[in-house]
A and B are shown apart, each in its own frame.
Chain A
Amino acid sequence: MKTLKIKYIIAAITLGIFTSCNILDIDPKDSYTEKGIFSDLALTEAYLTKHYAFLKAGWGADWVYADQYSLRFVSDESMCNFNWQGYHNVNNGAMTPDQIGGINIWSDYYAKIKDINIFFNNLDVLQALDETSRNTLTGEAHFFRAFYYMSLVNMYGGVPLITKTLNLNDPDLMVPRNSYEECADFVVKEFQKAADLLPEKQTGENFGRATKGAALALKSRMLLYMASPLWNTTNDKAKWQQAATAAEEVMKLGYRLDNDYQGLFLNPRSSEIIFQRLYTQEFGTYFDWTNTPNGWGGYSATCVLQGMVDSYENEDGTMPNPANYATATSDPWKNRDPRLYASILCDGQTFRGDVVDFWENEDGKSGGRSSRFGNEGWNAAKTSYTLRKFMDESLKNAWSDKSKQPWVFCRLGEIYLNYAEAKYHLGDEATAREYVNKIRARARGGKAGILPDITETGDALLKRIQHERKIELAFEDHRFFDVRRWKIAEQTDNMPGKGIRVVRKPNGDKTYTIITVQPDRKFIVPNHYLLPIPRSEIQKNDKLIQNPGYK
Chain B
Amino acid sequence: MKQKNSFIKRKVLLFTCMCIVSLGVFAQNITVRGTVTDANNEPIIGASVLVLKSNPPQGATTDEHGNYVLSNVAPNAILRISYVSMQTQEVAVKGNSTVNIVLKESDELLDEVVVVGYGVQKKASITGSVASIKGDELKTSGMANVSNTLAGRLPGVVATNRSGEPGADYSNIIIRGKGTLNNNSPLIVIDGVANRAGLERINPSDIESINVLKDASAAIYGAQAANGVILITTRRGTTGKPTITYNGAYTLSQFTRTPKLLNAYEYMTWADEIEVGNTGTANPRYANIKGGYLDGTINRKQYGDTDWMKATFRDFAPQTRHSISVNGGSENVKYYLSGDYFYQEPNYRNTVFNFQTTQLRSNIDAKINNYLTVNLDLAVRNEDRNNSIYGTGTMFWEAFNAYPFLYDYYPNGLPGPGLANGNNLAVLANGSDIGYDKVKDLFLDTKIGFDLKMPWITKGLSLSGYAAIDRRYRSEKKFWDTWDTYYYDTVNDDYVKQTTNMDGNMINLNQEASNDLSKTFNLKLNYEKTFGIHNIGAFVAYEQNQFDTDNFWAWRGYYMSSRPDYLDFGGEKDKTNGGNAFSSARQNLFGRFNYAYKNRYLAEFTLRHDGSMNFPKSKRWGTFPGLSVGWRMSEEKFIQEALPFANDLKLRASWGKLGNDRVDAFQYLNTFNMVNGAIYGEDPALHKGFKVGRTGNPDITWEKVDSKNIGLDAILWNGLLSFSGEYFYQKRNDILTKKQASIPDYTGLILPDQNIGEVSNKGFELSLNHTRSVNEIKYYIGGNFTYTKNTILFFDEAANVPDWQRRTGHSMDTWLYLKSDGIYQTQEEIDNSPHLPNTKPGDIKYVDIDDDKAITDNDRIRSSNGNIPRIVYGINMGITWKGFEASMLWTGQAQAYQMIVPYALNTQKEFYDNRWISAAETPNAKYPRAFDKEAGSNNNTRWSDFWLYDASFIRLKNVEIAYNLPKEWTKNLQIEALRVFLTGNNLFTIDKIKFQDPESSATSAGQYYPQSRTYTVGLTLSF
| B972-988 to A contact mask, C-beta < 8 Å, 1/0 | 00000000000000000
Which of B280, B504, B837, B933 is A516 in contact with, Cβ under 8 Å? Answer: B280
A204-B611 Cα distance, complex, nearest whole Å: 53
* B935 close to A89 (CB less than 8 A): yes
Quick check: is B41 within 8 A (CB to CB) of the other chain? no
Residues of B near A97 (CB, < 8 A) are 856-857
A-B contact count (CB 8 A): 292
Give the segment of B203-211, B282-290, B350-358, B701-709 that binds chain A: B282-290
Residues of B near A368 (CB, < 8 A) are 491
* B749 close to A280 (CB less than 8 A): no
* B746 close to A106 (CB less than 8 A): yes
Distance in Å: Cβ of A454 to nearest Cβ of chain B: 37
* B854 close to A400 (CB less than 8 A): no
Residues of B near A13 (CB, < 8 A) are 465, 523
Quick check: is A41 within 8 A (CB to CB) of the other chain? no
Distance in Å: Cβ of B892 to nearest Cβ of chain A: 37
| A484-499 to B contact mask, C-beta < 8 Å, 1/0 | 0000000000000000
Which of B611, B751, B837 is A96 in contact with, Cβ under 8 Å? Answer: B837
Which of A6, A31, A52 is B672 in contact with, Cβ under 8 Å? Answer: A31
Task: Place the interface of chain A in its size category.
Answer: 35 or more
Residues of A near B672 (CB, < 8 A) are 31-34, 37, 47
A397-B743 Cα distance, complex, nearest whole Å: 47
A23-B285 Cα distance, complex, nearest whole Å: 67
Which of B669, B679, B743 is A31 in contact with, Cβ under 8 Å? Answer: B669
Residues of B near A277 (CB, < 8 A) are 679
* B680 close to A32 (CB less than 8 A): no
* A540 close to B583 (CB less than 8 A): no
Quick check: is B687 within 8 A (CB to CB) of the other chain? yes
Distance in Å: Cβ of A348 to nearest Cβ of chain B: 15
| Residue on A nearest B487 in the bound complex, by CB | A375
* B288 close to A106 (CB less than 8 A): no
Distance in Å: Cβ of B216 to nearest Cβ of chain A: 26
Distance in Å: Cβ of A288 to nearest Cβ of chain B: 13
Quick check: is B137 within 8 A (CB to CB) of the other chain? no
A535-B749 Cα distance, complex, nearest whole Å: 18
Q: A6-B372, A208-B684, A373-B490 in contact; A86/B935 too (CB < 8 A)?
A: yes
Residues of A near B542 (CB, < 8 A) are 17-18
Quick check: is B685 within 8 A (CB to CB) of the other chain? yes
Quick check: is A132 within 8 A (CB to CB) of the other chain? no
Most buried by A among B611, B743, B754: B743
**Which residues 57-71 of A sit at the B interface, judged by CB distance below 8 A?**
none
Residues of B near A399 (CB, < 8 A) are 421, 500, 504-505
Quick check: is A82 within 8 A (CB to CB) of the other chain? yes
Quick check: is A394 within 8 A (CB to CB) of the other chain? no
Residues of A near B287 (CB, < 8 A) are 364
* A540 close to B677 (CB less than 8 A): no
Quick check: is B521 within 8 A (CB to CB) of the other chain? yes
**Which residues 820-852 of B sit at the A interface, judged by CB distance below 8 A?**
836-838, 852
* B748 close to A110 (CB less than 8 A): yes
Which of A25, A28, A86, A112 is B671 in contact with, Cβ under 8 Å? Answer: A28
| A294-337 to B contact mask, C-beta < 8 Å, 1/0 | 00010000000000000000000000000000000000000000
* A84 close to B933 (CB less than 8 A): yes
Residues of B near A268 (CB, < 8 A) are 684
* B685 close to A280 (CB less than 8 A): yes
Distance in Å: Cβ of B684 to nearest Cβ of chain A: 4
Residues of B near A96 (CB, < 8 A) are 837, 856
Quick check: is B13 within 8 A (CB to CB) of the other chain? no
* B681 close to A537 (CB less than 8 A): no
* B580 close to A30 (CB less than 8 A): yes
A363-B372 Cα distance, complex, nearest whole Å: 92
**Which residues 506-531 of A sit at the B interface, judged by CB distance below 8 A?**
515-520, 522
Quick check: is A473 within 8 A (CB to CB) of the other chain? no
Q: A29-B583, A88-B935, A206-B681 in contact; A168/B754 too (CB < 8 A)?
A: yes
| Residue on A nearest B620 in the bound complex, by CB | A24
Quick check: is B531 within 8 A (CB to CB) of the other chain? no
Q: A17-B521, A31-B673, A542-B800 in contact; A162/B748 too (CB < 8 A)?
A: yes
Q: A83-B934, A168-B695, A208-B680 in contact; A14/B544 too (CB < 8 A)?
A: no
| A197-231 to B contact mask, C-beta < 8 Å, 1/0 | 00000011111110000000000000000000000
* A536 close to B666 (CB less than 8 A): no
**Which residues 483-518 of B sit at the A interface, judged by CB distance below 8 A?**
487, 489-491, 498, 500, 504-506
Distance in Å: Cβ of A379 to nearest Cβ of chain B: 8
A216-B754 Cα distance, complex, nearest whole Å: 43
Quick check: is B242 within 8 A (CB to CB) of the other chain? no
Quick check: is A263 within 8 A (CB to CB) of the other chain? no
A542-B801 Cα distance, complex, nearest whole Å: 11
Residues of B near A203 (CB, < 8 A) are 682
**Which residues 689-710 of B sit at the A interface, judged by CB distance below 8 A?**
689-693, 695, 697
A28-B587 Cα distance, complex, nearest whole Å: 18
* B838 close to A92 (CB less than 8 A): yes
| Residue on A nearest B859 in the bound complex, by CB | A98
Quick check: is B456 within 8 A (CB to CB) of the other chain? yes
Give the segment of A113-121, A234-242, A253-261 that binds chain B: A113-121
A280-B281 Cα distance, complex, nearest whole Å: 43
A279-B679 Cα distance, complex, nearest whole Å: 6
A13-B523 Cα distance, complex, nearest whole Å: 9
Quick check: is A26 within 8 A (CB to CB) of the other chain? yes
Quick check: is A128 within 8 A (CB to CB) of the other chain? no
Distance in Å: Cβ of A546 to nearest Cβ of chain B: 11
| A389-422 to B contact mask, C-beta < 8 Å, 1/0 | 0000000011110101000000000000000000
Residues of B near A123 (CB, < 8 A) are none
Quick check: is B798 within 8 A (CB to CB) of the other chain? yes
A18-B589 Cα distance, complex, nearest whole Å: 11
Quick check: is B962 within 8 A (CB to CB) of the other chain? no
* A168 close to B739 (CB less than 8 A): yes
Residues of A near B856 (CB, < 8 A) are 96-98, 535, 551
Which of B523, B746, B854 is A14 in contact with, Cβ under 8 Å? Answer: B523
Residues of A near B296 (CB, < 8 A) are none
* B935 close to A519 (CB less than 8 A): no
| B735-752 to A contact mask, C-beta < 8 Å, 1/0 | 000010111111111111
Residues of B near A31 (CB, < 8 A) are 666, 669, 671-673, 693
Residues of B near A82 (CB, < 8 A) are 934
* A32 close to B521 (CB less than 8 A): no
Residues of B near A166 (CB, < 8 A) are 747-749
* B800 close to A114 (CB less than 8 A): no
Which of A46, A278, A542 is B689 in contact with, Cβ under 8 Å? Answer: A46
Quick check: is A50 within 8 A (CB to CB) of the other chain? yes
Q: A28-B671, A52-B678, A207-B681 in contact; A376/B487 too (CB < 8 A)?
A: yes
A204-B798 Cα distance, complex, nearest whole Å: 50
Most buried by A among B583, B682, B695: B682
6 contacts between A and B (CB under 8 A): A32-B674, A46-B689, A92-B936, A205-B680, A516-B281, A539-B799
Which 3 A-B pairs have CB atoms at the shortest separation, nearest pair first?
A114-B748, A50-B689, A83-B934
Identify 12 new A-B residue pairs, CB closer than 8 A, beyond the known A168-B697, A518-B279, A542-B799. A23-B544, A47-B689, A52-B678, A92-B837, A110-B748, A162-B747, A168-B751, A365-B288, A374-B490, A397-B505, A400-B506, A402-B504
